[in-house]
Chains A and B, each alone.
Chain A
């Protein structure tokens, strides 16, 4: 059984650019959530995908968007990057009907 994997592990972008982060969910898990973790803070919920549809969203602007694919992998897209978007972006997956969420190692995004 493979765990949650995210790519890339690190990247640096310039303010105003767009970025796509990727997540492969744990085997058998059909629900993927994305979180933003600023330095020294707890993760903040961005949104969740279940069977390719967004079914929950936190307090993040529309320039944060996502996709989930038939194999349950997922992407997080952020447009018009701002300096405050610099953070660790975490993907978590869970199986249908279960609440236990398992996190990937995260993608460290730096916006300069």
Chain B
């Protein structure tokens, strides 16, 4: 089955700097890769996703890149702000199937220092 590895487990940056979180996956059939932000006491919030037919997707300060050959994908946050502090999870699954279950990484705790 699919296995998703995520690193680093913790990341501390100064406000205004960029943050990068990386994930690798094992199942070459996976074709959908979402990223979730989870704040303390809340459920995961979908912030961006990418499908395997594209290599990069951007939404304002957030971007995701995908390398299908190497089976890894990354989240890039530019101009970080204190409110970006949270735990970020990557996930993978096969799009379009009846299963649709997400396999998550273990998370990255991002701290943005003012």
Contacts and interface: CB of A to CB of B under 8 A. Distances in A.
A66 interface: no
Contacts, number: 69
Contacts of B45: 103
Interface residues of B, number: 27
Indicate the member of B34, B98, B105 with the most A CB atoms within 10 Å.
Answer: B98
A48 B46 contact: no
A42 to B, nearest CB: 3
A94 B98 CA distance: 12
Interface residues of A, number: 28
A35 B42 CA distance: 14
Nearest to A46: B101
A11 B48 CA distance: 32
A95 B93 CA distance: 16
B44 A55 contact: no
Interface in A1-37: 4, 6, 31, 33, 35
29 contacts: A6-B43, A33-B101, A33-B102, A35-B102, A41-B107, A42-B4, A42-B89, A42-B91, A42-B106, A42-B107, A43-B89, A44-B104, A45-B103, A48-B100, A55-B98, A56-B101, A58-B101, A90-B43, A90-B44, A94-B100, A99-B32, A99-B96, A99-B100, A100-B46, A100-B49, A101-B34, A101-B46, A102-B46, A103-B43
